[in-house]
A and B are shown apart, each in its own frame.
Chain A
Amino acid sequence: MMLKIVDIIPLFVVIPLGAAFLISILGKYIKHASDVMVFISSTLLLGFSIYSRISLGHIEGKALVYKVGGWVPPFGIAMVLDGLSSFMLVTVNLIAFFVMIYSLNYMERYTDKPKFFTLFSLMVCGMNGMVLTGDIFNMFVFLEIASIASYALVGFGTEAEELEASFKYAVMGSVASSFILLGIAFLYGFTSTLNMADMARILSYKQNMYIINFVSVLFLMGFGLKAALVPFHAWLPDAHPSAPASISAMLSGVLIKTLGIYGLVRVFFNIIGSTKEYLSILMFLGAVSMLVAVVLALSQWDLKRLLAYHSISQIGYIALGIGLGTPLGIFGGLFHLFNHSIFKSLLFLNSGAIDYTLGTRDLRETGGIAKVMPVTSRTNLVASMSIAGIPPFNGFFSKAIIIIACVEAGYFWYALCAVIGSILTLASFMKVQKFTFLGTLKERFIGVREVPLGMRFSMVSLAFICIIGGLLVIPHFRFFIGDAMHVILKGTGYASVVLEASR
């Protein structure tokens, strides 16, 4: 029984939402019910997202529109599945699946597994809804669902420092969401519609758009804080280390990309229409993020804090690639988005494994665990080589494409910044390798063993995807990122595609 692909679209939101509330009731009474339900929901979501990506076809410029409630847009809310949405869906659900399998073992150390999986499913529901919707206020509601779930998850083990980090993150995230809502209010007042395609169509007619500059700055501040670009990055080095390791992987791997980069791309390219000034600001912020964050990361002794600073730096690469505006640059940016989710999640899961066995995250305390934890050390080596950009791992291809695109477009200084950032990243990960895995084991750690099966399975699978990730450049598989790139390049032509598909 093959369902029509259009009917599956609401299921991406319904399945995690239903799973969250079912886990919240049944998890208290039946043992292991929460594990089974979240496993079923994650597997279904992964299967549906891969199925939707394959059956969307290789035709560029096609979008599937689902009218919620039968109401024709612009009177009703529409859910739109186009190249960019299906690319983000596959990324989010893939990482969520592996993190879920890891959490089945890792969260035994914390207090309350059913509550954890409820919040986790709500976060996945928010992210899925945000990439699938075609209505700008609906996007804000799903953004808030995902954000509030992540504020609660950061402070999950309720130690003093985790609560402090969660409070800082919550206040800054709420102020950013208020900026986004203010921007949506101005756009609604100017165009009197909330549907994204309709708004793009109306904005291309109207003259005298002084208000668009103000709205663009508001959206840049709001989404920039969610994406952790450099003037707005201050919450990330506190929030990501304090979360449990699987949530750090989710936050750093998919949340800052879905809420931040996807929101920016949708609003700036498809609705408002990009001009040279906005893109140059985005490129500048990206380049500054790259350098500032990697310099700050060199002096860290806490493993997860070092990885958090590297997240900010790699988001700078993605912003630089997307801000270029040329097809090669946007391809590089999106490819780096996918690659970074894979290897950064793998790095955080490794740090969680180290924390699970040794009980400490300080680089001065660990050392010499390469012999006792072979799986962790080998996957960490793969991920470190990926993030530093060593061929033939996937990080090399995406960074090379971004640097080539910079040189091709004539921005030599930005390309130089990217190369310097890459060299400093390599330096800092050599430090991690030396202090964590080489050297001699301290006496109190003798007798530790490798982590349980679920954690090992997730880490090995992600390392495998790191190794074969470079294959996405060959023309047979290029449609995966190529369709997303064409949606961004089409700009406000998105409006005509969606409006015609929704008739």
Chain B
Amino acid sequence: MINNPKSGMTLIVKTITRLTVGLILLFGIYIILHGHLSPGGGFAGGVIVALSFVHIMLAFGKDVAMSKISIGLASNLESIGALMFLVVALMGFLGGAFFMNILAKGRPFELFSAGTIPLSNISIGIKVGVGLFAIFMALVILEGTKK
């Protein structure tokens, strides 16, 4: 990370951000993956993942954040997340009906159970996470071109 004193916030904020941003990302991924066991799921976890990227942008400035994920990559990842969701829904056609739950459902309350629900959660998590960050970046870039 760049230690540029002109962009971003003060040194204390930058040090703490380096420590906590990985934890926030990990917490968001935990909420996405355990969507079928505890409250949360795709959307809530996706918002927390987006917040970890926004945290980098707030603390270090726009250029560092854009070097991590550029706006073109964010837009592509968002569409790929939506297409993954559609593929998971279309897989149900093999089982009989649209959107049917066709993978093996293990014993309840385990991580690898409940069929296609974790896959839907992961695709929604990717889409929402990257999408919210892309919205935030688009508004910041818009602000930048105004000056």
Contact = CB atoms under 8 A, between A and B. Distances in A.
Interface of A: 10, 14, 17-18, 21-22, 24-25, 28, 66-70
A14 B93 CA distance: 12
B141 interface: no
Contacts of A67: 97
Nearest to A28: B72
Given A17-B86, A18-B86, A25 B99 contact: no
B98 A21 contact: no
A14 B91 CA distance: 12
A17 B85 CA distance: 11
A69 B79 contact: no
B17 interface: no
B86 A10 contact: no
B98 A68 contact: yes
A14 B75 contact: no
6 contacts: A14-B98, A21-B83, A24-B75, A25-B79, A69-B92, A69-B100
A73 B38 CA distance: 26
B10 interface: no
Nearest 7 A/B pairs, CB to CB: A10-B98, A70-B97, A69-B99, A21-B79, A25-B79, A24-B79, A21-B82
B56 to A, nearest CB: 25
A10 B89 CA distance: 11
Contacts of B95: 70
Interface string B63-87: 0000000001001100110110010
A25 B86 CA distance: 15
B140 interface: no
A68 B83 contact: no
Contacts of A14: 86, 89-90, 98
A28 B79 CA distance: 12
A22 B83 CA distance: 8
Contacts, number: 40
A69 B86 contact: no
Contacts of A21: 79, 82-83, 86
A24 B72 CA distance: 11
Interface of B: 72, 75-76, 79-80, 82-83, 86, 89-90, 92, 95-101
Nearest to A11: B98
A66 B99 CA distance: 12
Given A25-B79, A70-B97, 7 more contacts: A14-B98, A17-B86, A21-B79, A22-B83, A25-B83, A70-B95, A70-B100
Nearest to B83: A21
Nearest to B116: A69
A70 B96 contact: yes
Contact of A18 (B83, B92, B97): B83
Contacts of A66: 97-98
Nearest to B101: A69
Which interface residue of A18, A22, A70 has the most chain B CB atoms within 10 A?
A70
Nearest to A69: B99
A67 B96 CA distance: 10
B141 to A, nearest CB: 15
A68 B99 contact: yes
Nearest to B95: A70
Contacts of B89: 14
Nearest to B81: A21
Contact of B98 (A24, A25, A69): A69
Contacts of A18: 83, 86
B121 to A, nearest CB: 16
Contacts of B83: 18, 21-22, 25
A68 B97 CA distance: 6
Contacts of B80: 25
Contacts of B82: 17, 21
Contact of A25 (B76, B92, B97, B100): B76
Contacts of B96: 70
B77 to A, nearest CB: 10
A25 B83 CA distance: 10
A67 B100 CA distance: 10
A17 B127 CA distance: 15
B73 to A, nearest CB: 11
Contacts of B101: 69
Nearest to A18: B86
Nearest to A22: B83
Nearest to A9: B98
B125 to A, nearest CB: 16
A18 B82 CA distance: 9
A335 to B, nearest CB: 33
